Amino acid sequence: MRVGVAALAGGIFGVLGTICFFLAFSTDYWLVARDNCGPYSRHTTETIVEKDANGTELQFVKAVTISPAYLTLHHEGFFWRCLFHVESTANEVLATFFTNQPGSKVCVHGYLFPLPVVIGRVPHSSYDTTAVFRGFWTVFIILALASALTGGFLLVCGVPFISHKLYKLGGAFLIIAACLFLSVLVLFVLWMEVVDVKRYVLQERGETCIDIQVSVFYGLSFMVAAAGVPLELLSGLIFMLVGRALLANK
């Protein structure tokens, strides 16, 4: 009875963890950034009134540039890199919810984010040293998903046969998946710290933007992946213990 309850709890944790991993993989909100660079300024004039030495009022017309209350919001993930415009008062993370997607969003292929910063024109064959993060990030996230699916398949097969070997093997795959996704998160954090994110975000428009402000945030996909790691790890440990308990009862 206790073994059955433990297996049920492990299955629930495993399903939730795997769902988190697939949501993080399939959504494009690992990196969220905003900037005030773009052709959104408007030119106008203002009248300045001054007095000369005799006390006579003089009016001057001065041309000024007014920045509107809109910012460019970027978000990207494994598949896509997108940008759209939001009000300056909008929350960066909440604005990326599916229900808040504007019709003016522009997306391009992400080419297996995180990409290295491009040096020079885009595309260019010369990249900086952060290119190593792209390869490892891509490999680890694919291996993690494959491990989670393999572990789930073995556990489903192990239920009708009450096989301690399948339980232990499935639990081991879930633990491997959790460790790989933890490595994915660590690689992402390292990439965020090492790379010049401002330059990366504005690599196509950096030369046309002066005195710009770029704010970078961890997106919802990163948070979901982080939530899935302890769930998957706990599920794997539970099934390992269930396998040992079944072996001891024989």
Q: What is the mean pLDDT of the chain?
A: 77
Give the model's pLDDT for residue 108.
Answer: 76
Q: Which of 170, 141, 150, 159 is nearest to 235 (CA)?
A: 170
pLDDT attached to residue 164: 84
Q: What is the pLDDT of residue 227?
A: 95
Identify the pLDDT of residue 191: 80
pLDDT of residue 171: 93
Residues of the chain with pLDDT under 50: 40, 42-43, 65, 115-127
Residue pointed to by tokens 């020079």: 120
Helices (H) and strands (E) in the chain, counts: 5, 7
CA distance 62 to 68: 19
Domains in the chain with CATH codes: 2-249 (1.20.140.150)
